[in-house]
């Protein structure tokens, strides 16, 4: 394939940003045989990849002019802006931002890119750096379909699933934020539960044996939430919001008694109690997702 020709800069991929994720993307691109141009604010991070055949560009502008697809993977959108503000002309190829942020930031960046004449695709990496280049990688993309299709031969080298979500450039970031919400709240729950168990002298390994089972409930619950939120029917076949209200009160008391910060439980308790006060105590947990969005016109109409 022509894009494997090392002399053909137009077929290269550029990776801007060489943190753990940028390095993983660059390594996967090299492993797939693509000419790979690198740039990082701290150039020393490129050395291992250069030893594997990547080319280190002296400036962002140089990297951006030498590739068909220019990937940015830095800490946040502010860093992307900082990098791009140094460019005097648009990148030669499609600019694909894989740095994390929320949907409005992606849309602002796309507006800015349009003003600069830059072809812009946004993406969100859902899996950790070690998955990149393996079947376990999942990366979401949104923005102009044609840009995704044209860039796919390069994006596919990152492995696993490259999912196109639609023309609204903010969609990939929106998914990333909601999934990070689930992840961070789950991690917070795990930390809180281990802390509470420790106040009663329960050994971490003994506790983990049963904690695993709670995590195992979530996949089926996600499907049930989806089904009920889609149908708008919150029949409680299993547990009601009222039963959750009583459970959270017990746990909060136990946390307070054990000297564990009850603040995370208070936050959940107030969400549950608002739903009960609004008359939804007999409904299933999925109703809580509706109650959290009081401005939702669908909710107001019910």
Ligand X SMILES: NC(=O)c1ccc[n+]([C@@H]2O[C@H](COP(=O)([O-])OP(=O)(O)OC[C@H]3O[C@@H](n4cnc5c(N)ncnc54)[C@H](OP(=O)(O)O)[C@@H]3O)[C@@H](O)[C@H]2O)c1
Fill in the per-residue mask, 3 to 42: x = in contact with ligand X (CB under 6 A), - = not in contact: --------------xxxxxx-----------------xxx
Nearer to ligand X (CB atom), residue 182 or residue 238: 182
Residue 128 binds ligand X, judged by CB under 6 A: yes
Stretch 87-106 residues interacting with ligand X (CB under 6 A): 99-100
Residue 75 binds ligand X, judged by CB under 6 A: yes
Nearer to ligand X (CB atom), residue 125 or residue 241: 125
Question: Which residue in 54, 55, 70, 125 binds ligand X (CB under 6 A)?
Answer: 125
> Which structure tokens are listed for 115?
């003003």
> Which structure tokens are listed for 233?
């029917």
Nearer to ligand X (CB atom), residue 17 or residue 91: 17
What is the rounded CA–CA span in Å between residue 41 and residue 43? 6
Nearer to ligand X (CB atom), residue 187 or residue 214: 187
Residue 192 binds ligand X, judged by CB under 6 A: no
* Residue of 46, 171, 66, 35 whose CA lies nearest to 110: 171
CB 162, min distance to ligand X, A: 14
CB 65 within 8 A of CB 91: yes
What is the rounded CA–CA span in Å between residue 178 and residue 295? 18
Q: Residue 73: count other Cβ atoms within 10 Å of its Cβ.
A: 27
Vertex 117: Cα angle to 114 and 120 (nearest 5): 55
- Taking only Cα atoms into account, the Rg of the chain, rounded to an integer number of angstroms, comes to 24
Residue 86 binds ligand X, judged by CB under 6 A: no
Interacting residue ranges for ligand X, rule: CB under 6 A: 17-22, 40-42, 45, 73-76, 79, 82-83, 99-100, 125, 128-129
């Amino acid at each position: 394939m022509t894009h494997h020709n090392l002399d053909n800069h137009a077929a290269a991929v550029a990776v801007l940003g060489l943190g753990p994720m940028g390095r993983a993307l660059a390594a996967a691109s090299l492993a797939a045989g693509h000419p790979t141009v690198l740039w990082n604010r701290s150039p020393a991070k490129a050395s291992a990849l250069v030893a594997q055949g990547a080319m280190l560009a002296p400036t962002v502008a140089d990297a951006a002019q030498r590739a068909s697809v220019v990937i940015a993977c830095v800490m946040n959108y502010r860093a992307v802006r900082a990098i791009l503000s140094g460019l005097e002309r648009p990148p030669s190829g499609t600019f694909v931002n894989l740095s994390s942020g929320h949907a409005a930031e992606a849309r602002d960046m796309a507006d800015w890119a349009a003003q600069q004449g830059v072809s812009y695709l946004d993406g969100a990496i859902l899996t950790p750096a070690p998955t990149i280049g393996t079947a376990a990688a999942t990366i979401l993309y949104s923005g102009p379909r044609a840009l995704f299709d044209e860039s796919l031969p390069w994006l596919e080298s990152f492995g696993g699933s490259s999912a196109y979500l639609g023309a609204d450039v903010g969609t990939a970031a929106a998914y990333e934020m909601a999934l990070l919400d689930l992840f961070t709240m789950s991690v917070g729950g795990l930390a809180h539960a281990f802390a509470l168990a420790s106040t009663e002298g329960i050994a971490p390994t003994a506790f983990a044996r049963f904690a695993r089972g709670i995590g195992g409930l979530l996949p089926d619950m996600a499907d049930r939430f989806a089904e009920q939120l889609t149908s708008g029917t919150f029949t409680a076949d299993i547990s009601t919001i009222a039963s959750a209200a009583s459970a959270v009160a017990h746990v909060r008391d136990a946390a307070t008694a054990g000297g564990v910060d009850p603040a995370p439980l208070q936050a959940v308790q107030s969400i549950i109690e608002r739903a009960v006060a609004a008359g939804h105590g007999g409904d299933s947990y999925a109703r809580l997702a509706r109650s959290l969005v009081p401005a939702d016109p669908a909710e107001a109409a019910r």
